[in-house]
């Protein structure tokens, strides 16, 4: 089966810039969640989309935003980048079933200089 | 809010031996799911095993099994016959159960497992 695709895999930006990350879930799956992973804070929930609607949002500043398209692809945007935004950004999609477990993409490594 | 605690930042095990990774959680909910995820150095997060809170029977997947103690809010992972490929970061995760609700996972900080040949 096809997996979760994230692009780009690596990204280097400078402070003050903005960035857009993309996630394409497993074909047919409508739920997409985003997580930020850093050595200090671990894995933190950013937001979740279902059928183009944001269903839940984590405790992140308004500089972090996202959206989902009708084909279930999702993007997250970070504006006015800060050094602390350097992280691995993971996208996960839900596989329908008893456990509704989530499958993760390979992540986008963002480095802010 | 739910929290997940993994008290062992690092663990090591000899190849072919057994190791147990600890996880405790805090919640006021009665129904929920618990998961163990593995993240090898390649970074792709892989689901290892899951447990539904209302099921008393501990989940097992080949060499991986859990010890789920609901009253103690404990969810440990046992890896039997450890293999070099088991070396990775292991994350314990919690998710509320209600159908149609959020899929948000709450993760522990992780345990780095080293497997020695």
What is the C-alpha separation between B84 and B93, in angstroms, rounded? 24
pLDDT at A79: 95
Question: What tokens does B100 get?
Answer: 């149609």
pLDDT at B101: 67
Q: What percent of chain B has pLDDT over 90?
A: 79
Of B45, B103, B106, the CB nearest to A100: B103
Q: What percent of chain B has pLDDT over 70?
A: 97
Instruction: Give me chain B's average pLDDT, please.
Output: 93
B35:A90 CB<8 A: no
Å from B15 to nearest chain A CA? 27
A-chain CB neighbours of B52 within 8 Å are 98-99
Residue of B34, B105, B106 to mutate, interface with A, max A Cβ within 10 Å: B105
Instruction: Pick B41 or B85 by higher pLDDT.
Output: B85
What is the C-alpha separation between B89 and B112, in angstroms, rounded? 4
Across B83-111, b (16+ Cβ under 10 Å) vs e yields: eeebbbbbbbbbbbeeeeebbbbbbbbbb
User: What stretches in chain A show pLDDT beneath 50?
Assistant: none
A104:B52 CB<8 A: no
A-chain CB neighbours of B99 within 8 Å are 100
pLDDT at B30: 86
Q: Which residues, other chains included, contact A48 with Cβ-Cβ below 8 Å and sequence gap of 6+?
A: A31, A32, A33, A34, A54, A55, A56, A57, B102, B103, B104
A-chain CB neighbours of B89 within 8 Å are none
Summarised one tens digit per residue, pLDDT across range B1-49 is 889 999 999 999 999 999 999 999 999 988 899 999 999 987 789 999 9
Residue of A43, A97, A98 to mutate, interface with B, max B Cβ within 10 Å: A43
Torsion of CA B71, B77, B81, B86, to 10 degrees: 180
State the DSSP H helix or E strand holding residue A13, giving kind and residue range, or none if neither: strand A10-13
What is the C-alpha separation between A35 and A58, in angstroms, rounded? 9
Mean pLDDT over residues B73-79, rounded?
A: 97
A101:B47 CB<8 A: yes
Q: With contact defined as beta carbons under 8 Å apart, do B2 and B67 qualify?
A: no
pLDDT at A35: 97
What is the C-alpha separation between A23 and A1, in angstroms, rounded? 17
Mean pLDDT over residues B70-84, rounded?
A: 97
Residue B78 pLDDT greater than 80, yes or no: yes
Å from A54 to nearest chain B CA? 10
Rounded alpha-carbon distances, angstroms, from residue A106 to A5, A40, B3, B115: 7, 20, 25, 23
pLDDT at A48: 93
């Amino acid at each position: 089966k096809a997996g979760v695709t994230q692009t780009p895999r690596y990204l280097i930006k400078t402070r003050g810039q903005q960035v857009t990350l993309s996630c394409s879930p497993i074909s047919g799956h409508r739920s997409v969640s985003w997580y930020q992973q850093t050595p200090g804070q671990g894995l933190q929930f950013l937001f979740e989309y279902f059928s183009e609607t944001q269903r839940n949002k984590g405790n992140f500043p308004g500089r972090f935003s996202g959206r989902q398209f009708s084909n279930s692809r999702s993007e997250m945007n970070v504006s006015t980048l800060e050094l602390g935004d350097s992280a691995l950004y993971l996208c996960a999609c839900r596989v329908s079933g008893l456990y509704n477990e989530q499958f993760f993409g390979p992540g986008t490594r963002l480095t802010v200089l | 809010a739910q929290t997940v605690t993994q008290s062992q930042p690092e663990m090591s095990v000899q190849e072919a031996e057994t190791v147990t990774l600890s996880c405790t959680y805090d919640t006021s909910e009665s129904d929920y799911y618990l998961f163990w995820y593995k993240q090898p150095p390649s970074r792709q997060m892989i689901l290892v095993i899951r447990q539904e809170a209302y099921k008393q029977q501990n989940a097992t997947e080949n060499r991986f099994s859990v010890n789920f103690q609901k009253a103690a809010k404990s969810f440990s992972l046992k890896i039997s016959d450890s293999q070099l490929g088991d070396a990775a970061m292991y994350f314990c995760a919690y998710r509320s159960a209600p159908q149609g609700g959020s899929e948000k996972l709450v993760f522990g900080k992780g345990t780095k497992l080293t497997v020695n040949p």
